Structure 1
Amino acid sequence: MWRNIASNALSLSIVALIVLGGVIGWGKREYVAEGPLETAICLKVETGSNFTRVSEALDAQGAISSPSIFRMGADYSGKATELKAGSFLVEEHASMEEIVDIVTRGGASTCGTEVVYRIGVNAAEYQVRELDPATQSFNLVAEFDPDVEAPADYTRVRGQPDTRYRVAIAEGATSWQIVDALNKVEFLSGEITEVPPEGMLAPDSYEMRPGDDRADLIARMRASQEERLAAAWEARDPDVPYESPEEALVMASIVEKETGVPEERGQVASVFVNRLEQGMRLQTDPTVIYGITRGQGVLGRGLRQSELRAETPYNTYVISGLPPTPIANPGMASIEAALNPDTTDYLFFVADGTGGHAFAQTLEEHNRNVARWREIEAERANQ
């Protein structure tokens, strides 16, 4: 009898182990399997939260199939104590394993509220934006000038720990404009007392944290521009007529200020390169304007004939070759265009009324393009 009892007990133990193994295997498969979420969501994890609360929130939003498997998976992977506070984008059909990785990885929040301080060529502004997780596009909540009182929408999100911050620099902004605007950023610290060399600040979008030092941001911009320029110089067309990367940067800044149409940059660069190679003057208005303003704001009017005739280091209607320094901070596309311009015979260009330019090889053809542009200007003035 005892032998039968022992045999039955052993059989039951084996069955139990098989069942347990099956359950564990099923749980593992559920943990790594595609999740039930039909539309991406923004998951907010509060400071001091835990995996129980997170699993309940995910279950309520239909993002996981089993809160208990979610928690056990976090325990088994050794991540149960690594939960990070913030707002995190959970993609549709994300597995429980992927979600655990998202909320324990750390770093900046990936969705929710974003404050962007935009520095353009004409002005700077704050933007408060909210990410729509379903479309992964931002909805503008508020925008305002740094010199006016901040609206309630900004004040509301300013103290939230999961609010993200960025400083976005537009291509073509001058170093003075960037420094002037950065010294007005409310969420940064320190003060920039010296304007960096023109052209040496990389236009880009920079992730920031409240209290970050302005000088550190300037250092990041300079390091990035130096890296970009060095890489482009190494990959340059060997026939470009520059003696140094600094000269290429001057040309890139002129290209940046002459066109906002991306596909035209190579053509515009080719015009100026062709002029340099033929000993012609560059004759470009943006350099003359920089000589007047020194990059400190916008001229706000047309150039006078006296200014076009004045002999200054930046008046390319009078001087030969390049001006002594860049006239703005060019983006990577303009740097690449300056160092690898299109191969053309163009020597002239003028606005064509579409936002782009009409290019010409001869002065006669250029004069016809200018005449057409004057007609367009006259028609617009009479509308």
Structure 2
Amino acid sequence: MRKEQIAEILAETLGWDKQKKSDWVIKFTAMKYDYVEGVYFPDTYLIPTDETPLEVAQRFINKFNEKFAPYADKFTAANIKWTTALKIASIIQRETADKADMPLIAGIIWNRLLKGMKLEIDATVQYVRDDQVHFKDDSCQDPESTARKNGLCYNPELLQPTAEYISEGIWWSSVKVADKQIDSPYNTYLYKGLPPHPIANPGIDAIDAVLNSTETECLFYLHDSNKQIHCAKTYEEHLVNIEKYLR
């Protein structure tokens, strides 16, 4: 889930009004991590109904710290920055709900990164496109602004989700051809490497997959209509899989 989806659940469960929901989404980032996403750990929580959005956010982050702690030294030993691990884990989380597929997807992502290939992953485009919602902010008029550099502006507006939009629950819809031309560092069809920040809040299975990825020669993958994964070593093989499983 992305932060706005968590807001929907919290608002319904805790009886938040639009202001509290908006506070969760817009005002509060992940404190010292300077991450909008990634450290709001998905789990079961017992939350007092009188907790403020900031207190709830801290509760999620504390859980992340607890769950991630056993992996910190392991990532260091593997020469993987924890921020890199979290970005990859967030992509894996969006690419499959089946934890059995996660190590393979992690292996393919690592392969493409190490070969200097663009990741070309729809979920990264969905993330930045879905930020482009309702209103602009003056901070986007400066090309050197933090908002512009972090991919939160487009043509050249900063478009933040409003409470009204959040309530519609419109997230992660299919990517269109035009979406792949959105000029943002989150767009892995245009830019090599990982996005600036995580695109979702991954669970422990996705985090584990980054560390324990499958060794594979595959560089491409897709899911068929039954959500079965099929990978390919070459683009030509990938095209065959597209014809076989998606047409």
What is the TM-score normalised by the length of structure 2? 0.72
Deviation track 1:181-238 (CA, whole Å, cap 9, x = no partner) reads 4244346799462233211101000123454444333211101112333422322385
Bigger share in strand: 1
Q: Which SS does the other structure have where 1:250 is aligned?
A: helix
In the TM superposition, residue 276 of structure 1 has moved relative to its aligned partner by: 0.3
Q: Which has the larger radius of gyration?
A: 1
Identity %: 29
In the TM superposition, residue 340 of structure 1 has moved relative to its aligned partner by: 2.2
Residues 358-373 of structure 1: pairs in structure 2 closer than 5 A: 358-373=230-245
Instruction: Assess if the C-alpha contact under 8 Å between 1:282 and 1:320 holds in 2.
Output: yes
Residue 119 of structure 1 aligns with which residue? none
In the TM superposition, residue 271 of structure 1 has moved relative to its aligned partner by: 0.5
Alpha-carbon separation, structure 1, partners of 2:214 and 2:191 = 25
Alpha-carbon separation, structure 2, partners of 1:298 and 1:247 = 28
Q: Which SS does the other structure have where 1:323 is aligned?
A: coil
The root-mean-square deviation of aligned C-alpha atoms, in Å, is 2.5
Alpha-carbon separation, structure 1, partners of 2:38 and 2:235 = 32
Alignment pair present for 1:177 and 2:25: no
Instruction: Assess if the C-alpha contact under 8 Å between 1:229 and 1:249 holds in 2.
Output: no
Q: Which amino acid counterpart does residue 228 of structure 1 have in structure 2?
A: K
Q: Which amino acid counterpart does residue 224 of structure 1 have in structure 2?
A: K
Residue 356 of structure 1 aligns with which residue? 228
Alpha-carbon separation, structure 2, partners of 1:246 and 1:333 = 16
Bigger share in helix: 2
1:347 to 196, 215, 219: 219
Q: Which moved more, 1:228-237 or 1:275-284?
A: 228-237
RCO comparison, higher one (Cα < 8 Å, 6+) = 2
Distance 1:315 1:209, change over 3 A: closer
Instruction: Assess if the C-alpha contact under 8 Å between 1:313 and 1:323 holds in 2.
Output: yes
Alignment pair present for 1:270 and 2:98: no
Instruction: Assess if the C-alpha contact under 8 Å between 1:176 and 1:195 holds in 2.
Output: no
Q: Which runs of 5+ in 1 are unaligned?
A: 1-172, 376-383
Alpha-carbon separation, structure 2, partners of 1:326 and 1:216 = 22
In the TM superposition, residue 264 of structure 1 has moved relative to its aligned partner by: 0.4
Q: Which runs of 5+ in 2 are unaligned?
A: 30-35, 132-159, 162-168
Residue 84 of structure 2 aligns with which residue? 247
State the number of aligned residues: 201
Alpha-carbon separation, structure 2, partners of 1:340 and 1:357 = 18
Deviation track 1:102-152 (CA, whole Å, cap 9, x = no partner) reads xxxxxxxxxxxxxxxxxxxxxxxxxxxxxxxxxxxxxxxxxxxxxxxxxxx
1:298 to 170, 178, 197: 170
Alignment pair present for 1:308 and 2:189: no
Q: Which SS does the other structure have where 1:334 is aligned?
A: helix
